[in-house]
Amino acid sequence: MSTSIMSDARWVRVGDLAPAELSDARRQCHHAVQIAVSAAISYLPARSDDSHTALTWDARRRALSTELITAPRPFRIGMRPEDLALLAIGPDGRATSTFDLPGRTITDGHAWLGAIAAEAGIGTPPTSRKHYEIPDHAVAKGAPFSTGSRVAFHELSRYWANAAVVLDEVARSTPGASDVRTWPHHFDIATLITLADPSRTIGVGLSPGDDSYDEPYWYVGPRPYPQTAALPALAGGGHWHTEGWVGAALPASAFVARPDQRGQVTAFIDSAVAACRSLLGG
């Protein structure tokens, strides 16, 4: 069945800043969101697939948010990329507290989180320990966060908002697709399509950048990895990535200058998912 996704007016054009200039903002956001993840690790029941640590895009708040944390006064913790703000969000979706990270440190952010948990009626402080590592940045060693002109942070926010729109549509229209989540380890937002044979899956998502591409990029990844000798052609300017992992990739630099950004991304995803289904026999 097709994952075809239609053009949507909610897509916000990206490209105000060259994709290659988002690296520092991306790393700061990655460290900032770990404070929200600390709340999830500390106060949500652990799951074997780590989904309790995953975040969802809150379009109303323009933030990456945890699940609702059960407490005498339930709350979520969010991180708003456009201005590096931490949010405490009530069950009704309203922000009850905001903590601006620029000029402050990770330690300051965890102190704020501890105060939020105490106000919610939780008697134990949150842990900052993680069972994974993320790319290093000066903020991890005590330097304060800094958004500079904020252009890069606003640009990253647009990438997440667009990805949430596109991936929500993929998830709604595709049998076997999971909920759309942002995973705090690799910091990608994705849905996972499970085929008729549950050992075969196709991940569809957007990474804000990593060791493979130092810029945002869309990916469609089959599991298990197929042989790379005769991979099919892809639409939308995408290509096959075969170093370290095997999957279809569309870096932002390949589409930001195009007049129909959403159309190109849609063409890429549709062709890549179809190619992966063929390669996986499903």
65 and 108 belong to one structural domain: yes
Are 133 and 241 members of one domain? Answer: no
Q: Is the pLDDT of residue 8 over 70?
A: no
In terms of domains, do 215 and 247 share one? yes
How many independent structural domains does the chain possess? Answer: 2
Residue 271 has pLDDT above 50, yes or no: yes
The answer, yes or no, to whether residue 52 has pLDDT greater than 90, is yes
| Residue 3: predicted pLDDT | 53
Q: Is residue 1 part of a domain?
A: no
With respect to residue 34, please indicate whether it lies within any of the assigned structural domains.
yes
Write down which residue in 87, 117, 141 finishes a domain: 141
- My answer on whether 98 and 52 are in the same domain is yes
Query: In terms of domains, do 48 and 84 share one?
Result: yes
Please report whether residue 11 resides in a domain: no
- The model's pLDDT over 249-260, given as tens digits with 9 standing for 90+, comes to 999 999 999 999
Domain that holds residue 113: 19-141
Mark whether 261 and 192 lie in a shared domain. yes
Report the b/e string of 229-257 with b at 16+ CB within 10 A. Answer: eebeebbbebebbeeeebbbbbbbbbbbe
Q: 52: domain CATH number?
A: 3.30.920
> Which of 141, 163, 195 is the last residue in one of the domains?
141
**CA distances in angstroms from 94 to 58, 74, 179, 237, listed in the order given:** 11, 12, 23, 41
Q: What is the pLDDT of residues 215-230, one digit of tens each?
A: 999 999 999 999 999 8
**Would the pLDDT of 2 be above 50?**
no
Provide the mean pLDDT of the chain. 96
The reply to whether 14 falls in a domain is no
Q: How far apart are CA 9 and CA 28, in angstroms?
A: 29
pLDDT tens column, 10-21? 899 999 999 999
pLDDT over 80 (residue 282): no
Residue 44: inside a domain, yes or no? yes
Q: Could you tell me if residue 133 is inside a domain?
A: yes
Asked if residue 176 and residue 122 are part of one domain, the reply reads: no
Whole-angstrom distance, CA of residue 151 vs CA of residue 168:
26
Is 161 found in the same domain as 80?
no
Residues 6+ apart with CB under 8 A from 194: 176, 177, 178, 200, 201
